[in-house]
């Protein structure tokens, strides 16, 4: 058996560096690169670069390959569907994988009300179309989003994103009709309390008593959009009281609640969808990333009330709901249900959180451990009392991990959090190896 990780050159190796040099010559800098690695092949939780280095992957391509890279059943499904139908366009002719997936998504998303599902290519497109659906069906033009959020890079999705750098620099003017409100980021609560529940209450109070009194008439607000857990924002899970109160607020003003599950969906938090942790039913759910384990696919699921009478031709796209991607998504869901992947993820999350909490006790620069299930992050601070962000330490830890064969990612408003995104099917020994590398990196730099 090949040792994992197995580092045979410095990283990046010469072949990787040559391809990175070519990338820098031919690809715009806006397509940023986090890890100086050029991957040649992958399987499970392991990737191999063009220089022959084998690395453990705790990124899953930003939470995409939740069932592991190049899983045999997934590869077989892709091959089988490619031999039958690659493309026809859902607007030109109907095909079974799209319809079967629509039915399945309506079945597995929260709520027993009648729903409809739309397939697209990316999380950004899902968000764009969720807003279109709400605006057209309600006649209300305005949308409320949260500070420190990320919803995508297309124009409406970017406008809804509550972080300026790097996503919005030099790209204005933005889409009108979008308003921002603070998120209950309890470690740095905007209202100055260390009580999580009080922070949750304050977030709702601010919308009702400030935003709706000074910025926008709630009668003109079509939807409030929120990531169930802020992803790029640093894996920030809100106080437990936040979502029930937010849904109550939305219902009071007949505002639709759009839950962005692009990064949290499909078992990542120990539930099929993260919003299930909070026992509410949103009006609209957007999803992407892990839905097809690496193929470009996203979806919007919404109530019949919202989707039933959308004007023909106003939704969709040439490639949205590609037959291969839809067939793959059906296989992903089948595997997740058959193998009880969300339940296994929940157990993994408890184990990882225990390990991270122990690290926090040993290393004061870990200011907070947070997240749901195995979707966890550590926020690094210069001092636990002042909580001043420490992006230098998070960068050093990430680089040290890569040097020793573990791929990780940073996140957060201040880029001072390390987030964990291991495949949900990772073997126990590889998970332990990765955590050992992570701890060694923290010990060295924190």
How far apart CA 310 and CA 288 sit, in angstroms, is 22
| Region 239-252 average pLDDT | 98
| 211 pLDDT higher than 90 | yes
Q: How confident is the model at residue 56 (pLDDT cuts 50, 70, 90)?
A: very high
pLDDT for 1: 46
CA trace torsion 262, 191, 283, 225 (10° rounding): -50
pLDDT at residue number 2: 67
Closest by Cα among 407, 379, 413 to 393: 379
What separation in angstroms does the CA of 421 have from each of 92, 268, 372, 428? 38, 8, 12, 15
Residue-wise pLDDT tens digits, 394-435: 999 999 999 999 999 999 999 999 999 999 999 999 999 999
Q: What is the pLDDT of residues 337-396, one digit of tens each?
A: 999 999 999 999 999 999 999 999 999 999 999 999 999 999 999 999 999 999 999 999
Query: Which residue stretches of 38-172 are H helix?
Result: 60-63, 72-82, 96-108, 123-138, 155-160
At 424 the three-state DSSP class reads: coil
- In the block, which residue shows the tokens 């332990």? 432
CB half-sphere exposure, 389, CA atoms < 13 A: 14
> Is the pTM for the entire model greater than 0.95?
yes
d(CA 356, CA 71): 28
For the chain, the 3-state helix, strand and coil shares in percent, each to the nearest 5, are 40, 20, 40
Structure tokens at 33: 């690169």
Distance (Å, rounded) from C-alpha 2 to C-alpha 309? 56
Q: Where are the domains of the chain?
A: 76-338
pLDDT of residue 429: 97
Higher pLDDT, 446 or 87: 87
Percent of the chain with pLDDT over 90: 99
As assigned by CATH, the class of the 76-338 domain is: alpha beta
Q: What are the E-state strand segments in 273-425? A: 284-287, 298-303, 366-372, 375-380, 406-407, 409-411, 417-420
Other beta carbons less than 10 A from residue 187's beta carbon: 15
For range 198-205, the mean pLDDT: 98
Q: Report the SS3 class of residue 350.
A: helix
Q: Which residues contact 244 (CB under 8 A, 6 or more apart)?
A: 278, 279, 280
So what's the pLDDT on residue 3?
84
Q: What distance in Å separates the CA atoms of residue 257 and residue 43, rounded to the nearest whole number?
A: 38
pLDDT score of 264: 99
What percentage of the chain has pLDDT greater than the value 70? 100
Each residue of 24-41: pLDDT tens digit?
Answer: 999 999 999 999 999 999
What whole-number distance in Å separates Cα of residue 91 and Cα of residue 412? 39
Give the mean model confidence (pLDDT) for residues 299-321. 96
> How does strand 39-43 pair with strand 409-411?
unpaired
What is the phi/psi pair of residue 250, to 5°?
A: -60, -45
* 8 Å CB contact between 233 and 163: yes
Q: What is the mean pLDDT of the chain?
A: 98
What is the distance between the terminal CA atoms of the chain, rounded to a whole angstrom?
Answer: 34
**Across-strand partners of 418?**
378, 410
Per-residue pLDDT tens for 79-100?
Answer: 999 999 999 999 999 999 999 9
């Amino acid at each position: 058996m090949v040792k994992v990780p197995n580092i045979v050159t410095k990283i990046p190796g010469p072949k990787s560096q040559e391809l990175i040099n070519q990338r820098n010559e031919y690809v715009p800098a806006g397509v940023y690169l986090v890890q100086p690695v050029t991957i040649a092949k992958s399987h499970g939780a392991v990737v191999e670069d063009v220089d022959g280095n084998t690395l453990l992957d705790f990124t899953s391509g930003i939470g995409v390959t939740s069932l592991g890279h190049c899983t045999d059943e997934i590869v077989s499904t892709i091959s089988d569907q490619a031999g039958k139908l690659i493309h026809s366009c859902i607007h030109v002719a109907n095909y079974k994988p799209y319809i079967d997936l629509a039915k399945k998504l309506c079945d597995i998303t929260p709520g027993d009300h009648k729903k409809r599902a739309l397939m697209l290519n990316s999380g950004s497109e899902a968000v764009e179309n969720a807003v279109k659906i709400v605006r057209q069906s309600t006649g209300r033009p305005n949308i409320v989003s949260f500070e420190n959020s990320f919803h995508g890079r297309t124009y409406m999705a970017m406008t809804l994103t509550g972080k300026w750098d790097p996503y919005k620099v030099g790209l204005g003017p933005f889409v009108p009709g979008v308003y921002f409100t603070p998120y209950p980021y309890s470690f740095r609560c905007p209202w100055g309390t260390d009580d999580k529940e009080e922070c949750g209450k304050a977030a709702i109070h601010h919308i009702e008593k400030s935003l709706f009194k000074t910025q926008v008439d709630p009668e003109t607000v079509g939807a409030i959009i929120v990531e169930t857990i802020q992803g790029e924002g640093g894996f920030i899970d809100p106080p437990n009281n936040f979502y029930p109160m937010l849904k109550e607020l939305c219902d009071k003003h007949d505002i639709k609640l759009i839950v962005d599950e692009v990064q949290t969906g499909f078992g990542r938090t120990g539930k099929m969808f993260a919003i299930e942790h909070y026992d509410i039913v949103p009006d609209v759910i957007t999803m992407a990333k892990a839905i097809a384990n690496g193929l470009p696919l996203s979806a919007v699921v919404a109530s019949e009330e919202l989707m039933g009478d959308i004007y023909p031709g106003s939704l969709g796209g040439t490639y949205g709901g590609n037959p291969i991607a839809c067939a793959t998504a059906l296989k992903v869901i089948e595997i997740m249900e058959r193998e009880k992947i969300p339940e296994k993820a929940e157990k993994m999350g408890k184990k990882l959180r225990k390990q991270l909490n122990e690290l926090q006790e040993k290393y004061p620069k870990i200011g907070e451990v947070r997240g749901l299930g195995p979707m966890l992050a550590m926020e690094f601070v210069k001092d636990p009392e002042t909580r001043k962000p420490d992006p230098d330490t998070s960068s050093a830890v990430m680089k040290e991990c890569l040097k020793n064969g573990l791929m990780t990612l940073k996140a957060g408003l201040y880029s001072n959090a390390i987030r964990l995104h291991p495949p949900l099917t990772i073997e126990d020994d590889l998970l332990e190896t990765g955590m050992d590398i992570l701890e060694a990196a923290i010990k060295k730099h924190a």
